[in-house]
Amino acid sequence: MKTRGGPSNAAAGGRPTVDAIARGDFVENERLDFKRQLNLDDVTGRQRLVDDVVAFLNRGGGTILVGVDESEGRFAGFRPIAGDRDALGRRTISILQDGIDPTPLDIRFHCLDLVDGFVLDLEISAHRNGPFQARHSGAFLIRTAAQNRPISPAELRSYFVEEKEWLDRTVALTREESDRLAGTGKMTERGPVLQFGIVPRAFFDPVHPHFSQDAHWRSIAPSFDDRARILFKGCEGGHEAFAVGGDGKGGSRLFVRDDWFVHAWVAWPLWVEPGEKMLSLYKFKTELLPAFLNELDQFLDEQAVAGPYAVLMELTHLQRDPKVGRFFRESEAVTMLRPRFVERIAGMSDQFIELVQRSTIYG
């Protein structure tokens, strides 16, 4: 999130580089692991690699950097790998595909050049066809913090939820929370509104920890407007970050329910620029919405909530402001007909922006 500092990682930033690793920009966590070497000629070495990759796959992806010494999860030096890079990469991928069920089809290797060799960068992409199992032991593992742990039976059942049930639940929960919020009368009734619901896999996992805050620390919430840094506070059923608008009523709200259903409500995501009298569509699609969705991804990463997610987005009350309404051909709302599955919330940005733009007079 833009409001926090600290080391970057493969989930939140780009691919590792030698300079970034040496600076300490990358640290071990639930998305990244350092390894001194690969022992592919040893059965135990192969099995440990398979277990690590299974755990990352079930977490939703990650990175393994081979040829790096670490101390307490931080960079301590390089151990360059020598030899045929392509041969090592092909053998590594073959071992993983043979050792994991179902077979992962999108694990990539990159070689980062050092003076005396290279670091092997294993890029483990998110896959939706899990859960993944190590064939040698039958174990289902998941990466938590910087460790692998077995997946509990209750957690394992959450992987087998029917997609139709998942999508239907997303629609029902989003509509229910939107209607309930409108009924409270605490949100502004001026101008257009962006609202959406997110249902992660963790929603179906009864043992996944709730989002919690304490008296000494409260998280800063992802915000559609960088000027509004709002904290999560407890509310009925979960936690909310609530900001007051110019009319004294709610201008934005992010709600995280105890079961990890997430609902966002933002007033005035689009407006007509004074003077130019142009719709703020360019800023919406290049700055505001992408930044907000990226912050949501980072927030969920921090809470160990991983994709895939079912997401339903809509832009409503477009005719409340006639200045905005005339850009939408008298349409009252831009609504996705059904939720979309995405591995990262930010993956919704282009899809929804295309839908919004198509609904305007510019479309």
**Chain segment 251-281, per-residue pLDDT in tens:** 899 999 999 999 999 999 999 988 768 999 9
Q: C-alpha angle 155/262/240, rounded to 5°? A: 120
pLDDT band at 7; cut points 50, 70, 90: very low
The predicted-structure confidence for 102-142, as pLDDT tens digits, reads as follows 999 889 999 999 999 999 999 998 877 778 999 999 999 99
Q: Where does a domain end: 103, 132, 151?
A: 151
Domain count for the chain: 2
Place of tokens 């290797």: 109
pTM exceeds 0.85 for this model: no
What does the pLDDT look like over 215-240, one tens digit per residue?
667 788 898 876 667 889 989 999 99
How confident is the prediction for the chain on average, in pLDDT?
A: 88
Of 176, 358, 357, the closest CA to residue 284 belongs to 357
Indicate whether 3 belongs to any domain: no
The answer to whether residues 48 and 173 belong to one domain is no
Could you tell me if residue 100 is inside a domain? yes
User: Are 309 and 337 in the same domain?
Assistant: yes
Domain range for 266 is: 160-359
Of the candidates 39, 40, 33, the one whose C-alpha atom is nearest the C-alpha of residue 10 is 33
DSSP-assigned states of every residue in 74-111: EEEEE--B-S-HHHHHHHHHHHHHHHEESPP--EEEEE
Q: Which of 83, 13, 12 is nearest to 41 (CA)?
A: 83
Residue 2 lies in a domain: no
Write out pLDDT tens, residues 307-337: 889 999 999 999 999 999 999 987 899 998 8
What value does the mean pLDDT take over residues 282-305?
Answer: 91
Mean pLDDT for 347-361 is 90
Is there a single domain that holds both residue 146 and residue 187?
no
Q: Is residue 96 part of a domain?
A: yes
The CA distance from 35 to 18, in Å, is 15
| Residues 6 or more apart in contact with residue 172 via CB below 8 angstroms | none
- Residue 22 phi/psi, 5-degree rounding, is -65, -30
Please check whether residue 12 lies inside any domain of the structure.
Answer: no
Residue 4, in any domain of the structure: no
11 in a structural domain: no
Q: Are residues 87 and 120 in the same domain?
A: yes
Does residue 9 lie in a domain region?
no
- Of the three residues 93, 119, 151, the one that is the final residue of a domain is 151
Block residue for tokens 């050092």: 114
- Cβ(31)–Cβ(121) under 8 Å? no
| pLDDT the model gives residue 11 | 40
Q: How far apart are CA 10 and CA 110, in angstroms?
A: 14
Same domain, 105 and 197: no
CA angle (298 as vertex; 296, 300 as ends), nearest 5 = 70
Could you tell me if 352 and 304 are in contact, meaning their C-beta atoms sit under 8 angstroms apart? no
- The answer, yes or no, to whether residue 8 has pLDDT greater than 70, is no
Q: Are residues 208 and 184 in the same domain?
A: yes
- Cα separation, 50 vs 43, in Å, equals 11
How far apart (Å, rounded) are the C-alpha atoms in residues 222 and 7? 19
Assess whether 143 and 169 both reside in one domain. Answer: no
Same domain, 137 and 172: no
Place of tokens 């915000």: 223
Q: Among the three residues 105, 134, 151, which one is the final residue of a domain in this structure?
A: 151
- pLDDT digits 0-9 by tens, 36-91: 999 999 999 999 999 999 999 988 889 999 999 999 999 999 999 999 999 999 99
Do 139 and 174 belong to one domain? no
CB atoms within 10 A of CB 74: 12
Q: How many CB atoms lie within 10 A of CB 283?
A: 14
Residues 334 and 299 in one domain: yes
Compute the distance between CA of residue 292 and CA of residue 111 in angstroms, rounded to an integer: 33
Rounded to an integer, what distance in angstroms lies between the CA atom of residue 26 and that of residue 20? 7
pLDDT band of residue 201 (cuts 50, 70, 90) is confident
Tell me the pairing of strands 117-124 and 133-134.
Answer: unpaired
CATH number of the domain at 53, please.
3.30.950.30
Q: What integer pLDDT is reported at residue 81 of this predicted model?
A: 95
What Cα–Cα distance (Å) separates residue 47 from each residue in 54, 95, 279? 10, 9, 57
